Amino acid sequence: MWRAERGSYATDGGASAEVRLQNTMGAPVTTVGDYTWAFTVKTATAFTARATPSTARQASDGWLSIDNNGVKTDSNGYTYPDPRCKWSK
């Protein structure tokens, strides 16, 4: 909603930009289930959201990320729809 209303993501840096992006993505908390979310605002039109396992039972899964273009990448460097990408499972 922030980008739709203002034409860009919040780029004032720091925690306030990340909180606005979390709210835009519909994930206002940083821990969801077994994962911790991190949001990075790169530019006025680019961001990356990364989910990292926050519990030992999920630790071997590694992180998953998605950017503003919908590009999905895993901690092994594979990008969806590569069948080796964890997003493909």
With CA atoms as reference, report the closest residue to 58 among 83, 31, 26. Answer: 31
Mean pLDDT by 10 residues, the chain (89 residues): 69 59 59 76 80 82 91 96 91
What is the rounded distance in angstroms from the CA atom of residue 80 to the CA atom of residue 84? 8
Q: What is the pLDDT of residue 55?
A: 79
Q: What is the pLDDT of residue 12?
A: 53
- 19 burial via Cβ count (<10 Å: 0-12, 13-18, 19+): middle
Tokens of 60: 């071997």
Q: What is the pLDDT of residue 58?
A: 79
Q: What is the pLDDT of residue 2?
A: 63
Instruction: Tell me which residue has tokens 């940083």.
Output: 30
Q: Which residues, 6 or more positions from 84, have their beta carbon under 8 angstroms from its beta carbon?
A: 76, 78
CB 47 within 8 A of CB 68: yes
* Predicted structure pTM score: 0.69
Q: What is the pLDDT of residue 85?
A: 94
Tokens of 24: 């835009």
